[in-house]
Chains A and B, each alone.
Chain A
């Protein structure tokens, strides 16, 4: 194993339930702090578990014949304009900026940077945003009419949510392995329901005490509380939660979601019958499952129970 340099001093306070876990991850070199909460370097030990969890995620849907796609961790702003993310999660978005100014403005940018002053006014937006969920890049590519029986996709990718925290489970930049279905209202709901079981099988197969609970997304503001209430009332989102830390706090490591026509309407995706399609996705939170294993079994995977190791590395 490569030697990992010591992490910078850590300001985690003792009362946070994740303090001990975070300290173990950093002290043992599993994660490396970068100076920004929720943005970490990852060791080869961590990545070996991620790779194994990702293989298990893929295997869980291997029988579906899903089309396997990859998108970059950035996507067009135009997708954001249409898919409602800006309405619901403006505080979580990541917008990519660059510099388009003059030499004089460049000098001012450098001066402000050196003085730690706000650089914002000197930067301009690009037509790119950070991808908030692996499947969001898919829908604009599927405009038109679906085949009979709908379509299935498998997508792995980096996601970004701007919610800085010292909780290792709340990374700002993390990976999701998703299985997405585009079809009728009935087939979308069936996908969502069936994947709750498939997901639980993967997690319990690793000895994690997972259960499915009705959940809501963290919609922004007071209007968001109404959207969240609607989402719960209609049971559109289920999270698979695992107890973590000494407090056994339930923490979501995967989710299964019905989007109704939220994505099909703006991007014009129809079923073979000419009706507006419905979509659903299941996302394995690959980083969170990895962290749940490190929390459950400790930060030295070589010493994990043989039964768990044989599932991860058959």
Chain B
């Protein structure tokens, strides 16, 4: 799976979104699409498992997980770094 496919799969399983994941654009606000704070925590933990990484303290905030594009930037920054 590509990075984007993995992110979308995590969102399907943990995002508790009110809309189908296929309908989300790169910059769609996930919180606006129904993801709660608690769901975003589960998304964060699932991303760590899926990509085998641990988000550092400075990334543990809402904006890191606000869209598929934002999540990809964070994941890419860590896997490239």
Please classify the interface of chain B as helix (H, G, I), strand (E, B), loop, or mixed, using the class held by over half of its residues.
helix
Q: What 1/0 mask marks residues of chain B from 20 to 36 whose CB sits below 8 Å from any chain A CB?
A: 00000000000000000
Q: Closest approach, in angstroms, between the C-beta of A226 and any C-beta of chain B?
A: 4
Nearest opposing residue in chain B for A225, CB measure: B60
Chain A residues near B42 (CB-CB < 8 A)? 223
Choose from A223, A227, A230 the contact partner of B45 (Cβ within 8 Å): A223
Interface string of B37-60 (1 = CB under 8 A from A): 110111011000000000001001
Size class of the contact patch on chain B: 10 to 19
A220 CB, nearest partner CB in chain B, Å:
10
Beyond A84-B38, A87-B38, A230-B37, whether A225 also contacts B62 by CB under 8 A is: no
Q: Chain A: interface residue count, which band?
A: 10 to 19
Residues A187-231 near B (CB distance < 8 A): 222-223, 225-227, 229-231
User: For residue A84, which residue of chain B has the nearest CB?
Assistant: B38
Which partner residue on chain B sits nearest A227 by CB separation? Answer: B37
Interface residue from A226, A231, A233 paired with B41 (Cβ < 8 Å) = A226
Q: Which residues of B contact A223 (CB under 8 A)?
A: 41-42, 44-45
Q: B44 and A230: CB pair below 8 A?
A: no
Contact in complex: B44, A233 (CB < 8 Å): no
What separation, in Å, do the CA atoms of A87 and B44 have in the docked complex? 15
Looking at the assembled complex, report how far the CB atom of A222 sits from the nearest CB atom of chain B, in whole angstroms: 7
Q: Are B60 and A229 in contact (CB under 8 A)?
A: yes
Closest partner residue, chain B, to A87 (CB atom)? B38
Residue in A closest to B38 when the chains form the complex, CB atoms: A87
Residues of B within 8 A of A225 (CB): 57, 60
Known: A84-B38, A87-B38, A223-B45. A230 touches B62 (CB 8 A): yes
Min CB–CB distance A102 → chain B (angstroms): 41
| Interface, chain B (partner A; CB < 8 A) | 37-38, 40-42, 44-45, 57, 60-62
Footprint of B on A, CB under 8 Å?
A: 84, 87-88, 222-223, 225-227, 229-231, 233
Interchain Cβ contacts under 8 Å between A and B, 13 examples: A84-B38, A88-B38, A222-B60, A225-B60, A226-B40, A226-B41, A226-B44, A226-B61, A229-B61, A229-B62, A230-B40, A230-B61, A233-B62
Other 18 A-B pairs with CB < 8 A, given A223-B42, A226-B44 = A88-B38, A223-B44, A223-B45, A225-B60, A226-B41, A226-B60, A226-B61, A226-B62, A227-B37, A227-B41, A229-B60, A229-B62, A230-B37, A230-B61, A230-B62, A231-B37, A233-B61, A233-B62
Closest CB pairs A-B (n = 3) = A223-B41, A226-B60, A229-B61
